[in-house]
Amino acid sequence: MRHVRNSCEQAILDTVRRDGRARIAALARALSVSDETVRRHVRALVADGLVRREHGAVVWVGGSEPPFERRLSVNAAAKRAIARAVAERVEDGATVMLDTGSTTAYVAEALAARRELTVITNGIEIARSLVGRNGHRVYLAGGALDARLAAALGPEALAFLDQFHADLAILSIAAIDAEQGLMDFELDEARMARAMMRRARRVLVAADHSKFGRRAAVRVADLGAVDLLVTEAPPPEPFEAQLAAAGVELVVAMPAAGARQSVSV
């Protein structure tokens, strides 16, 4: 694999790593170069196994998500809208499980206004947002801490979940593929999501529009394993039809008017 990159290649790589996907034409505009120049640099990145070409776009396949703090700033207005809609569907006194993720971090902030929830999570920032607020009881899974994901993962964290049964599991997913369903970049994160699904009466997936049409390394579950999917924009075909066929309730929560957010170039 080559390790020396020019500034244009590095800018493309940074953008696709950050956002998961970017259009060739949008990259060309952002970098003030031609589409063909972008394609030439993309071919080099494809050869290195870092990205793949897909219908006029570049998709990140480098093997991991961006760090947690960086993901918090991407599509922030969309994630806040999703979080508000999720919180409206959680009753006071409910028992909920939340996995780690930037979207579920916003959900945790919105849930702080509810009362006397029992919250089980492996996310450090999620626990921090809810502990000591409005009578909430917060249980944080132990195990090996992953600083990049701000979460506890591994066999100890999975065993911890087996002590609980929740009314609702709220999951933040990395990718939603038309063929493979729910996907994630990390095997341990996928295992945690599956464990929460098993230990909850209902499953809610909170995912912004950028997650549709993406693929990641690890398959989590079929779309039919989800009871409710909350997003901030109507999903593209074929997803809307597939969700309906699988019996998944779809909620589209529009961001507040005038809200600013970071989006893919």
Task: Give the pair of three-digit tokens for residue 259.
Answer: 């809200």
pLDDT of residue 244: 94
pLDDT tens-digit map of 76-96 = 888 999 999 999 999 999 999
Cβ contact 26:264 at 8 Å: yes
What is d(CA 119, CA 131) in angstroms, rounded to the nearest whole number? 9
CA distance 138 to 212: 31
Asked if residue 147 lies in contact with residue 185, where contact means CB atoms within 8 angstroms, the answer is no
Give the C-alpha separation, 214 to 228, whole Å. Answer: 19
The residues, any chain, with a CB within 8 Å of residue 43's CB and separated by 6 or more, are none
Query: What distances in angstroms separate CA 263 from CA 19, 74, 86, 174, 260, one per listed residue?
Result: 8, 6, 22, 16, 9
- Among candidates 253, 240, 214, which has minimal Cα distance to 78? 253
Q: What is the pLDDT of residue 69?
A: 56
CATH 3.40.50.10470 in the chain: give the residue spans: 68-252
> Strand 166-172 vs strand 200-206: parallel, antiparallel, or unpaired?
parallel
Determine the Cα–Cα distance for residues 224 and 58; give it in Å rounded to an integer: 28
Span 197-213, pLDDT tens digits: 999 999 999 999 888 98
Q: What is the pLDDT of residue 76?
A: 82
φ/ψ of residue 168, rounded to 5: -150, 135
State residue 144 phi and psi, 5-degree precision: -70, 130
* Residue 28, pLDDT score: 93
Identify the pLDDT of residue 146.
84
Q: Report the pLDDT value the prediction gives residue 14, as an integer from 0 to 100.
A: 78
Query: What kind of fold does domain 68-252 have according to CATH?
Result: Rossmann fold (3.40.50)
From first to last of its 265 residues, the chain has per-residue pLDDT tens of: 344 457 788 888 878 877 778 999 999 999 999 999 999 999 988 876 678 888 889 987 755 555 555 555 566 888 999 999 999 999 999 999 999 988 999 999 999 999 999 999 999 999 999 999 999 999 999 988 887 788 999 999 999 999 999 999 999 998 999 889 999 988 899 999 999 999 999 999 999 988 898 888 899 999 999 999 999 999 988 899 999 999 999 999 988 654 444 333 2
The residues near 46 (Cβ < 8 Å, ≥ 6 apart) are 52, 53
At residue 94, the pLDDT reads: 99
Q: Judge contact between 87 and 207, C-beta under 8 A.
A: no
> How many alpha carbons fall within 13 Å on the CB side of residue 21?
15
Lookup: tokens for 34? 């031609």
Residues of CATH 1.10.10.10 domain(s) within the chain? Answer: 7-60
The CATH architecture annotation of domain 7-60 reads Orthogonal Bundle (1.10)
Non-local CB neighbours of 152 within 8 Å, separated by 6+ positions: 122, 124, 140, 141, 142, 143, 144, 145, 146
Question: What does the pLDDT read at residue 15?
Answer: 84
pLDDT for the residue 20: 76
Identify the helix (H) or strand (E) that includes residue 72.
Answer: helix 68-72
Residue type, 243: L
